[in-house]
Amino acid sequence: MTSQPLQKVDHSALKANQYFIISLGVLAFVFNQPILAAFVALMMGLGTVLKKPGFGFIYTSLLKPRGWMKPDVLDDNPEPHRFAQFVGFLFMAGGSAALFLGSAVLGWTLVWIVVALASLNAFGGFCVGCAMYYWLVRLNVPGFGKQPPTGTFPGMKPKAGAAA
């Protein structure tokens, strides 16, 4: 497989997105508000379609301009992050649907899976959806073709300058 050029990816925008997914998912559970889980699913779905973090607009319009979060721009592939957001959308949408259909255990389990995986990424630097993307590359699944940045374990956040 040929090496493809990496793009600039602001990992602070990704992290802000994860923080909002985590916070709103937990609030949805605490206050038993399936509509809030559905809103998170909607934002994740829109973000996937628009090829941006679903809650990234909060980072670009509020957090970054006020200096509350600093950019963390790294050479990376945006495709695995979009794939991870899409998988999260599927789980969150499935969880929301289950909640609205009266299956609380299934619904909240799916919501908490998204919260847990977003937390692993935000606080641990490991993106399970990104790792899944790179596994699909290794299996030669059509549509999955990007390699992780040089010297980066698949799913881990690249180190600054690692791909230089």
- Torsion (CA) 57, 13, 50, 75 in degrees, nearest 10: 150
Structural domain includes residue 138: no
Q: What is the mean pLDDT of residues 120-135?
A: 97
Instruction: Return the pLDDT at 160.
Output: 80
- Model confidence, pTM: 0.92
> For the segment 85-110, what is each residue's pLDDT rounded down to a tens digit?
999 999 999 999 999 999 999 999 99
Q: Which has the closest alpha carbon to 9: 48, 51, 46, 47?
A: 51
Residue 155 lies in a domain: no
Residue 135 lies in a domain: no
- Domain enclosing residue 93, as ranges: 9-127
* pLDDT attached to residue 2: 44
Mean pLDDT of 7-33: 98
Q: Which two tokens stand for residue 109?
A: 């389990």
In this predicted structure, the answer to whether residue 30 has a pLDDT above a threshold of 70 is: yes
Our count of domains for the chain comes to 1
